[in-house]
Amino acid sequence: MVILYLICGLFLGWSLGANDAANIFGTAVGSRMVKFKTAAITSSLFVLMGSILGGSGTTETLNELGKVTELKDAAIISFSAASIVLGMTWLKLPVSTSQAIIGGIIGWNVFNGVKTNPEILTKIISTWIFSPVLSGITAIICYLVFKNLIVKIKLHLLLRDQIIRKSLIFIGALGAYSLGANNIANVMGIFIHSSGLNDLLLFNTYTIPVSFQLYCLGGLAISAGIITYSKPVMLTVGKNLLKLSPEHALIVVFSHSVVLLLFSSVKLSMFLSSIGLPQIPLVPVSSTQAIIGAILGLGLFKSSSSLKFRKLGEIALSWVLAPLLTLLFCYLLFAIFR
């Protein structure tokens, strides 16, 4: 039964891998700058590393919003989030796994009459606005630096092409790492206190904590999503909002990675606190929102006429719909199965 419940979380991980890895490598693969095989291997490896090495920060915030202790509850929340993600993806609307899972947790809080911590909720919602804005600003700064660099260095077109290819893989790896570190909480965060699993003792020497086991499982699920289903998504991504050149893709993915790392790095958060600056909240932010924020920033800076504003409206709508629909669906599921 534990496995069956965990499958709900893994299913969410799988869909996250299929959709969000496309955000990272979509343009590179779509424009044939990077082979799908290279993209799939790199992203699945680094997403796993990010999940295992840097996933703890955002998980804590998610648990502060709602500490789910029952495995069945966690499975229902995961299932409702995964269903909404799948449904909205089917409707070709960009959807955030982070928003869906948070909607699900709030739905669980509402059903159980548990008061949602307004401070944490505000912190999370503010990052939904702040992360795309920050991503857009980062993209504009990167664009200006990159443009000046290209003019100054005067690399041969073919060398530039090669360097961009290698950079797309490198930045893609960074993007996959930050995706794993920031978004693993969405997949496995709610199972930390509810899985019923115990710490494993390896060779009577090494203790493998529950969180590590779950991060490994979640990371593998995301990797499976990347390998099995991200190719068609990768081949169509990037054409919806603004057609990206490989150079622009590099800037967009880099900005996305910076934002995701900022919101998941415990060390950075502690460092900022140590020098008296406000801490960056460790919140699972939406990879899709970060990517869209970067594309939007770049598009508005270069020429707003090339942006598809109708699509932009659909995206804004989906950002409101995703948490609300998951909240309602999760509430409904609890009402049926409880």
Partner 1 sequence: MFKTTKKIIKDIDNYLSHVNSSSVIFKKGMIDFLSENDAEFKEQLKEMAKTEHFADALKREIENTLYSQSLLPESRSDVLRLIERLDELIDTAKEILVNFDIEKPYIPGEFHHKFFELSDVACRAVEVCVEATKVYFHNPSDIKETLRKIYLLEKEADNISNQLKIEVFNNNELNLSQKMHIRYFTARTDLLADTAESVADLLSISSIKLIV
244 neighbors 227 (Cβ within 8 angstroms): no
Member of 20, 73, 247, 314 binding partner 1 (CB under 8 A)? 247
CB closer to partner 1 out of 22 and 33: 33
Interface size with partner 1, residues (CB under 8 A): 21
- Residue 256 is encoded by which pair of tokens? 């996305």
Q: How would you class 325 by CB atoms within 10 Å of its CB: exposed for 0-12, middle for 13-18, buried for 19 or more?
A: buried
Of 8-16, 103-111, 244-252, 328-336, the segment contacting partner 1 by CB under 8 A is 244-252
Member of 1, 3, 90, 151 binding partner 1 (CB under 8 A)? 151
Give the shortest CB-255-to-partner 1 separation in angstroms.
15
Closest by CA position to 50, among listed 21, 30, 81: 21
Q: Find residue 326's DSSP bridge partners.
A: none
Residues 130, 131, 133: CA angle, nearest 5 degrees: 65
| Touching partner 1, residues 22-51 (CB under 8 A) | 31-33
201 phi and psi angles, rounded to 5 deg = -105, 115
3-state secondary structure of 236: helix
CB closer to partner 1 out of 110 and 155: 155
Q: Binding to partner 1 by residue 145, rule CB under 8 A?
A: no
CB closer to partner 1 out of 35 and 338: 35
Q: Binding to partner 1 by residue 161, rule CB under 8 A?
A: yes
Q: Binding to partner 1 by residue 248, rule CB under 8 A?
A: yes
Give the shortest CB-142-to-partner 1 separation in angstroms.
11
Give dist(CA 107, CA 200) in Å, integer. 33
Of 68-76, 150-158, 259-267, 328-336, the segment contacting partner 1 by CB under 8 A is 150-158
Closest by CA position to 189, among listed 290, 100, 123, 300: 100
- Residue 80 is encoded by which pair of tokens? 């409702």
Q: Binding to partner 1 by residue 147, rule CB under 8 A?
A: yes
Q: Binding to partner 1 by residue 154, rule CB under 8 A?
A: yes
Q: Cα dihedral sign for 223, 228, 234, 236?
A: negative
Member of 5, 128, 143, 191 binding partner 1 (CB under 8 A)? 143
Give the shortest CB-97-to-partner 1 separation in angstroms.
31
For 203: left if phi > 0, alpha if psi spans -120 to 50, otherwise beta; the answer is: left
Residues that bind partner 1 (CB under 8 A): 31-33, 143, 146-147, 150-151, 154-159, 161-162, 165, 245-248
